[in-house]
Chains A and B, each alone.
Chain A
Amino acid sequence: MHPELHRYLDGEISRSSLSPAAAAELAEWEPLESAVAHRRAERAPRGLVGDVMRALPPVHAPSAGTSGWQRVVSWLMTPRPLRIAPMAPLMATAAIAAVMLFMPRSESTGVVPTVRDVSTRMVAAPAVAVTPVVYVQFALTAKDAQSVAVAGDFNGWSTDAGVLRDADGDGVWVGLVPVTPGMHKYMFVINESEWVTDPRAEAYVDDGFGMRNAVIGVRDPAAGRTI
């Protein structure tokens, strides 16, 4: 194609400034331009908006118009940061182990605390049998970070629900986050703005937006398996 024609189609020069040779070539281009213009006029099929809205999953956050009891239920169901002293999980584990040691053995009491040793040093603390939630310890080394949080599909990708702490200032941020059993996608959020993929995740999956989500499988302590 004539270089001037490219420049015209790029909007850099006007049609009147085309040389006769380029103008002649433009005439050959116009049927294609006509087809493209027809494509420009296309509209999405009727009903697409409704189809999308019907396919949306339920939201995590309560809407402004919800009633009081709905807000209470939502508050109870929404994951939030839980501060636990480092000794607490150990003591809880020891307590449960002691109880199990002195209980008569039977199939119905064979609840074994789930302990996961994954690449990010995630360790699941014992879960309460009634509520299917496992407290997963997330850890990330981020030396110069001011804050680190873990955001995933288990907390609605909230950047302030799964806050990690670096109590001793060594750059290793750690936090226990309530997660329901199953496969979950997550990322770390540094300084409330920088999304970082866990470099030591169990697995990864493209997020469809140009980045990779980390994937973790959380075992159901009662069922003894990853859902």
Chain B
Amino acid sequence: MTVPNDVLTDAEVVRRVKRGDRDAYRVLVHRYQDALYRCAVSLTGDRDVAADLVQATFVKAFTEIARLQDDASFGGWIYRACVNRCRDYQKSHRRRDVALDAVGGPQLASRDRADAALERDELQRSLDTALSGLTDEYREAFVLKHVEERSYDEMSDLLGVSVSALKMRVHRAREALKTALEEVL
């Protein structure tokens, strides 16, 4: 590529990929890997699974990129694909045996520990456990709002759900998480 990758817009890179420039796709993967990975970790609670799902999402998107009508919308398009893939994974690997009560289990004794890193890791695990207890809709809404810091309008575009419905989902997700994590907090 003769133009530095950093100055290329998504639309320009997507056009190159559509023309057959396979290497150009590397720019898009590099650009969106972190956001997709964070999202996948939050939605699945498993880093290894998240990495696999993100990789599969990128590969699938590459094979279907010719169908992307608005080249500039690649970011939202692949993000939506990642959420869908995580949703499918959750459906087939739902951990119904993880009760929210587990959040208040022995690992939460970390409050007494001096090691801040350990406490933070346990809080992360507690957060993942609590998130896994939410419905798919609530979990996706919470992750998009608080982890990805998306606006409600952006979330509405991504998920195809009205802003008012998304606000309700986020509010209820907060309530549920707060209740689940009460003993930790």
Residues of A within 8 A of B (CB): 1, 6, 9-10, 28-29, 31-36, 38-40, 42-45, 48-49, 51-53, 55-64, 151, 153, 156-159, 187, 193, 195, 207-210
Report the minimum CB–CB distance from A181 to chain B (whole Å). Answer: 19
Q: Is the interface of B mostly helix, strand, loop or mixed?
A: helix
Alpha-carbon distance A208/B47, docked complex (angstroms) = 21
Please determine whether A63 and B20 come into contact, CB atoms closer than 8 angstroms. Answer: yes
Please determine whether B67 and A36 come into contact, CB atoms closer than 8 angstroms. Answer: no
Please determine whether B185 and A31 come into contact, CB atoms closer than 8 angstroms. Answer: yes
Report the minimum CB–CB distance from A87 to chain B (whole Å). Answer: 33
Alpha-carbon distance A51/B123, docked complex (angstroms) = 30
Please determine whether A208 and B81 come into contact, CB atoms closer than 8 angstroms. Answer: yes
B107 contacts chain A at the CB level, 8 A cutoff: no
Alpha-carbon distance A159/B64, docked complex (angstroms) = 12
Alpha-carbon distance A142/B63, docked complex (angstroms) = 27
Report the minimum CB–CB distance from B164 to chain A (whole Å). Answer: 12
Report the minimum CB–CB distance from A105 to chain B (whole Å). Answer: 44
Q: Chain B residues with Cβ under 8 A from A193's Cβ?
A: 69
Please determine whether B124 and A35 come into contact, CB atoms closer than 8 angstroms. Answer: yes
Q: Chain A residues with Cβ under 8 A from B63's Cβ?
A: 57, 153, 157
Q: Chain A residues with Cβ under 8 A from B80's Cβ?
A: 209-210
Alpha-carbon distance A52/B30, docked complex (angstroms) = 10
Please determine whether A62 and B20 come into contact, CB atoms closer than 8 angstroms. Answer: yes
Please determine whether A9 and B67 come into contact, CB atoms closer than 8 angstroms. Answer: no
Report the minimum CB–CB distance from A8 to chain B (whole Å). Answer: 11
Please determine whether B25 and A195 come into contact, CB atoms closer than 8 angstroms. Answer: no
Alpha-carbon distance A6/B145, docked complex (angstroms) = 12
Q: Chain B residues with Cβ under 8 A from A187's Cβ?
A: 67
Q: Chain B residues with Cβ under 8 A from A36's Cβ?
A: 127, 146-147
Alpha-carbon distance A1/B178, docked complex (angstroms) = 8
Please determine whether B124 and A56 come into contact, CB atoms closer than 8 angstroms. Answer: no
Q: Chain B residues with Cβ under 8 A from A57's Cβ?
A: 59, 62-63
**Residues of chain B from 12 to 35 with CB closer than 8 A to chain A in the complex:** 18-23, 25-26, 29-30, 33-34
Please determine whether A49 and B29 come into contact, CB atoms closer than 8 angstroms. Answer: yes
In this complex, what residue of A is CB-closest to B30? A49
Q: Chain B residues with Cβ under 8 A from A49's Cβ?
A: 26, 29-30, 33
Please determine whether B55 and A52 come into contact, CB atoms closer than 8 angstroms. Answer: yes
Residues 60-73 of chain B, each 1 if its beta carbon lies under 8 Å from chain A, else 0: 10111111010000
Report the minimum CB–CB distance from A80 to chain B (whole Å). Answer: 15
Question: Which of A48, A156, A158, A159 counts the most chain B CB atoms within 10 A?
Answer: A48
B37 contacts chain A at the CB level, 8 A cutoff: yes
Kindly list the 10 A-B residue pairs having the minimum CB-CB distance in the complex, ordered from nearest.
A61-B20, A157-B66, A44-B37, A44-B33, A63-B20, A52-B58, A35-B127, A35-B123, A59-B20, A31-B185
Q: Chain B residues with Cβ under 8 A from A63's Cβ?
A: 19-22
Alpha-carbon distance A9/B170, docked complex (angstroms) = 10
B149 contacts chain A at the CB level, 8 A cutoff: yes
Please determine whether A10 and B170 come into contact, CB atoms closer than 8 angstroms. Answer: yes
In this complex, what residue of A is CB-closest to B33? A44
Q: Chain A residues with Cβ under 8 A from B23's Cβ?
A: 53
